[in-house]
C-alpha cells in the first residue's frame, strides 16, 4: 500500500482569525496497476479530476477539500481500511466487492454502498491462470496435484474457486495466497506451478515471455468487472462529493476512450505496466470496457459470485437491495443531460469478426499502431520491419471463437487458403483445422 499521505478520517475545523473554515478530507483506496480500476483511481489522481468536480456552493462554499489516494495491490486490504474508518471510497473487483458489502453489513456499524462501475469485460477475460512457459500443464485439468497461487480474496481468487469447482478438481489443488508481485516473480523463476491473477497480470506475464495462459476467465461463463464502494455514513453526509467522484470517473473513462495509445503511454509512466499490455486492454476491441452504470447484468453476476463464495468459503449474507445504490450515478447522468436508461442497455461484447475491428494490428517503435486487413498482411509487415532492423513492440489479433483481443505472439494459428485464423487456445485451433481444413502453424515472425 502506498499513501499520499495519511491524514485524519473526519472533517475538522480550522481557524483563520474569527472565521471558521471546514476541511473535508476524502480518501480513496484504489489499485493503480489494475486496468479495470484506473478510471476510478490513478487517472483521476494524476489528472486531478476529482478536485475539478467537487462542489463549491451551498454548504460547501467555504469548505476546503483534501483528497488523498492510497494505492493497494488487491481489494481485501482496501476493505479492511474502509471498515476501520480510514478510507471513504474503495475501488475493487467483483469478488472483493461482494466481500466488502457482506463484511460491512455484518459489522453492525456503518455499511458500504456499491455506487459505480469503473471497467468490465462482458465475457470474463482479464482474469487468468498462468503457468511457466516450459511447464507440462496444457489445460486447467492438468493442474490437478499441483500448487496454484492467487491473491486470496481477489477477483482472480473467486474466479479460480469457480473454475476449479466447475472442473471438479478444487480438492486436488493446493492453493497458496500470493499477491501479484510475488506470484509473477514465482512464475518467472518456476517456483510455483501456476498463478491466477486479475487484470492485467496474465497478459503481463505473456508479454514478458515467461508465462503461458492455460485458463482464461471467460471460460467460467460470467462477466468480470471492477467498481466503487463508499461508506454509507460518508455518502449520507456528503452525497454531492460522491457525485463528484463519479463525475470524475466518467471524465477519466472518456479520456481513456478518446486516445487509447495516449492513455496506455501515460499509464505506463504512472504504473510501470508496459504500454503494449495496456493498449491490449484500452484499444478499440480491447479487453476493458469503461462504463459507470450499474447494469442489472452486473448485479446478477454478483449474486452468482456471492453464491460461489457462500458455498466455497462461507461468506456472510449480503442484502443486495441495501447495498447496490445507483442514485448517485443517476444524478450525475441527469445533471449532465445524459440518458442513464439508454446506457444501461449498452454492453460491449466481443464477437467473432465484429465489424470495424481490423483482423490484426502491429505496434512499431517508429510508426506506432498500424492496422491491417488480414493477419497475413501484418505478418509480411512485421517480417519486413525486422529485416530492416526496425523494432516491433507488439502484435494483436482476435480469437476466432470469442472475438477476444490477444497478443499475436501467444495465439495459435491455422493457415487456410485465404489467410490465417487466430485462436486463444491451441486445442481450439486443432479443432478448427480438423473440422474446416487448414494446417496448424508456428508463426516465428511473431515474437511480440
Cell 502506498 belongs to 2
pTM of structure: 0.92
The per-residue pLDDT for 169 is 96
Contact 171, 148 (CB under 8 A): no
- Own/partner contacts of 307-312, CB < 8 Å, gap of 24 or more, are 308/158, 308/161, 308/162, 308/165, 309/95, 309/98, 309/99, 309/158, 309/161, 311/165, 312/161, 312/165, 312/170
325: Cβ contacts below 8 Å, ≥ 6 apart: 113, 114, 115, 235
Residue 447: pLDDT band with limits 50, 70, 90: low
pLDDT tens by residue, 17-72: 445 579 999 999 999 999 999 999 999 999 999 999 999 999 999 999 999 999 99
The β-bridge partners of 177 are: 150
56: Cβ contacts below 8 Å, ≥ 6 apart: 63
Q: Which of 406, 405, 404, 417 is nearest to 376 (CA)?
A: 417
Contact 394, 362 (CB under 8 A): yes
Q: Which of 354, 226, 346 is nearest to 286 (CA)?
A: 354
pLDDT tens by residue, 390-402: 999 999 999 999 9
The residue ranking higher by pLDDT, 255 or 446, is 255
Residue 380: pLDDT band with limits 50, 70, 90: very high
Amino acid at each position: 500500500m502506498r499513501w499520499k499521505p495519511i491524514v485524519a478520517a473526519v472533517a475538522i475545523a480550522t481557524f483563520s482569525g474569527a472565521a471558521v473554515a471546514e476541511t473535508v478530507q476524502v480518501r480513496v483506496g484504489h489499485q493503480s496497476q489494475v486496468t479495470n480500476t484506473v478510471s476510478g483511481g490513478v487517472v483521476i489522481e494524476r489528472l486531478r479530476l476529482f478536485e475539478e468536480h467537487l462542489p463549491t456552493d451551498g454548504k460547501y462554499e467555504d469548505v476546503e477539500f483534501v483528497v488523498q489516494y492510497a494505492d493497494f495491490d488487491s481489494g481485501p486490504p482496501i476493505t479492511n481500511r474502509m471498515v476501520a474508518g480510514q478510507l471513504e471510497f474503495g475501488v475493487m473487483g467483483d469478488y472483493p466487492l461482494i466481500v466488502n458489502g457482506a463484511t460491512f453489513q455484518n459489522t453492525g456499524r456503518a455499511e458500504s454502498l456499491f455506487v459505480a462501475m469503473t471497467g468490465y469485460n462482458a465475457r470474463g477475460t482479464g482474469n487468468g491462470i498462468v503457468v511457466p512457459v516450459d511447464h507440462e500443464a496444457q489445460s486447467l485439468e492438468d493442474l490437478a496435484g499441483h500448487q496454484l497461487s492467487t491473491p486470496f480474496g481477489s477477483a482472480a481468487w473467486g474466479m479460480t474457486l469457480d473454475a476449479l469447482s466447475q472442473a471438479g478438481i478444487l480438492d486436488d489443488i493446493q492453493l497458496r495466497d500470493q499477491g501479484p508481485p510475488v506470484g509473477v516473480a514465482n512464475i518467472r523463476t518456476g517456483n510455483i506451478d501456476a498463478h491466477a491473477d486479475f487484470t492485467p497480470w496474465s497478459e503481463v506475464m505473456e508479454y514478458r515471455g515467461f508465462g503461458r495462459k492455460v485458463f482464461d476467465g471467460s471460460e467460467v461463463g460470467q462477466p468480470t468487472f471492477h467498481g466503487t464502494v463508499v461508506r454509507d455514513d460518508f455518502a449520507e453526509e456528503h452525497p454531492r462529493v460522491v457525485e463528484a467522484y463519479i463525475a470524475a470517473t466518467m471524465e477519466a473513462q472518456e479520456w481513456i476512450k478518446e486516445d487509447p495509445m495516449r492513455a496506455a503511454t501515460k499509464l505506463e509512466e504512472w504504473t510501470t505496466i508496459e504500454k503494449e499490455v495496456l493498449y491490449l486492454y484500452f484499444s478499440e476491441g480491447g479487453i476493458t470496457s469503461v462504463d459507470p452504470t450499474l447494469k442489472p447484468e452486473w448485479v446478477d453476476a454478483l449474486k452468482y459470485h456471492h453464491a460461489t463464495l457462500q458455498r466455497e468459503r462461507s461468506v456472510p449474507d449480503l442484502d443486495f437491495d441495501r447495498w447496490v445504490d445507483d442514485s448517485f450515478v443517476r444524478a450525475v447522468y441527469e445533471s449532465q443531460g445524459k440518458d442513464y436508461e439508454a446506457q444501461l442497455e449498452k454492453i460491449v461484447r466481443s464477437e467473432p469478426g465484429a465489424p470495424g475491428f481490423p483482423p490484426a494490428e502491429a505496434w512499431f517503435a517508429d510508426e506506432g499502431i498500424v492496422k491491417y486487413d488480414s493477419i497475413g498482411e501484418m505478418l509480411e509487415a512485421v517480417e519486413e520491419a525486422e529485416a530492416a532492423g526496425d523494432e516491433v513492440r507488439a502484435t494483436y489479433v482476435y480469437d476466432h471463437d470469442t472475438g477476444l483481443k490477444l497478443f499475436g505472439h501467444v495465439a495459435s494459428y491455422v493457415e487456410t487458403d485465404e489467410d490465417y485464423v487466430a485462436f486463444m487456445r491451441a486445442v481450439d485451433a486443432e479443432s478448427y483445422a480438423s473440422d474446416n481444413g487448414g494446417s496448424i502453424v508456428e508463426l516465428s515472425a511473431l515474437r511480440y
